[in-house]
Amino acid sequence: MSGEGRHARHVAIIMDGNGRWAKRKHLPRAMGHRRGVEAVRELVRSLKDTRIECLTLYAFSSENWKRPEDEVDDLMNLMRRFIKSDLPEFIANDVKLHILGDWQGLAPDIVAMLEDALEKTSHGSRTLAVALNYGSHAEIAQAARKAAEEGEVTEESIERHLYSAPLPPLDLLIRTSGEIRLSNFLLWQAAYAEMLFVDVLWPDFTPDHLKHALADFAERERRFGGR
């Protein structure tokens, strides 16, 4: 059976390539991250023109703390500016913020900003889920621990305790920059998701690229283990 006409409710993106984008343009890595934030902003604004109910973005992994201190500081400052500048736009466009990961482990002022953003966007009809201080192995381990505390450990009891529990099932996972790996991102959720690896570096990823990815998804036949 053809997948024509099928639409993705939940799309996740591994936003890869900021550093290489900056290097190719002989710019500091920080400029790549800043342009990457602009790409996020443009993509979120374009969601109203799609049928996507949830967009999940891999913003900062638990492994990213191993990067040079000045780069981590720049990423945290970018996060502060993005939350402050874009929160009114999220509210105006009915976008609900959801966080995946151990975000309470971030700097106290960022935690406070995120708590405020979560509260103020809680009634949005379309979700932007952001993975912050996130690692899929840790997510599955903590979900299994909580399931064990409640009783029998089953697939269903683990899923109830994943960070993504309130979100629709993952339909499509995209990674930019040409790398072909998941990098500890949504390993449980991606079990039967369609995947698309594109050569475009994240700062150059546009709403048109997303549009083409959604069209590609619509043509696929999803089997879920069947024929």
**What amino acid positions are annotated as catalytic residues?**
16, 64
Question: Sheet of 10-14: strands edge to edge?
Answer: 95-100, 126-134, 54-61, 10-14, 172-175, 194-197
Neighbours of 15 (CB within 10 A): 23
Which residues lie closer than 8 Å to 108 by C-beta, 6 or more apart?
none
Under DSSP, is residue 61 helix (H, G, I), strand (E, B) or coil?
strand
Q: Which two tokens stand for residue 122?
A: 């809680």
- Please give the distance of CA 212 from its chain centroid, rounded to a whole number: 18
Spatial distance between the Cα atoms of 129 and 150, rounded to a whole number of angstroms: 27
Amino acid sitting at position 4: E
